[in-house]
Amino acid sequence: MRDKAFDICRTFLSGQWDNISSDDLIINKISIGLSNQLYICSLPDNHKPIGDEPRDALLRLYGQTIDGDDYKVTDSLITMLLSERRLG
């Protein structure tokens, strides 16, 4: 799990995220649903963000869904809208 989260964070984030190792990444499990898992991935305290990069990132790992790929698109859209409105 750690290596997968590390690879995803390094792929989509930049700055200090490129300067840490997998062992440095801080991962906290938020919840485990029936099919999805949520984690907060964070930079260690000794690595300050560069510019406007995030210190923390929400990582959602999808499991099996009974509704197919449409559920992933809808769920991602809802997450984006909540984020834009600073509601989640």
- The residues pairing with 37 across neighbouring beta strands, listed in sequence order, are 32, 61
State pTM to two decimals: 0.69
What residues contact residue 58 under an 8 Å CB cut-off, 6+ apart?
30, 38, 39, 40, 41
CATH of the domain at 63: 3.30.200.20
Give the pLDDT band (50/70/90) at residue 34. Answer: low
> Residue 65 sits in which domain range?
2-84
Dihedral of alpha carbons 53, 14, 31, 65, sign:
positive
Whether residue 84 has pLDDT greater than 90: no
Q: Give the residue carrying structure tokens 């440095």.
A: 24
Residue pLDDT, tens place only, 10-21:
999 989 999 999
Dihedral of alpha carbons 8, 10, 12, 16, sign:
positive
Question: How many domains in the chain?
Answer: 1
Q: How far apart are CA 11 and CA 79, in angstroms?
A: 20
Strand order across the beta sheet in which 36-42 lies = 26-32, 36-42, 56-62
Instruction: Please give the pLDDT value at position 60.
Output: 87
Query: First CA to last CA across the chain, in angstroms?
Result: 24
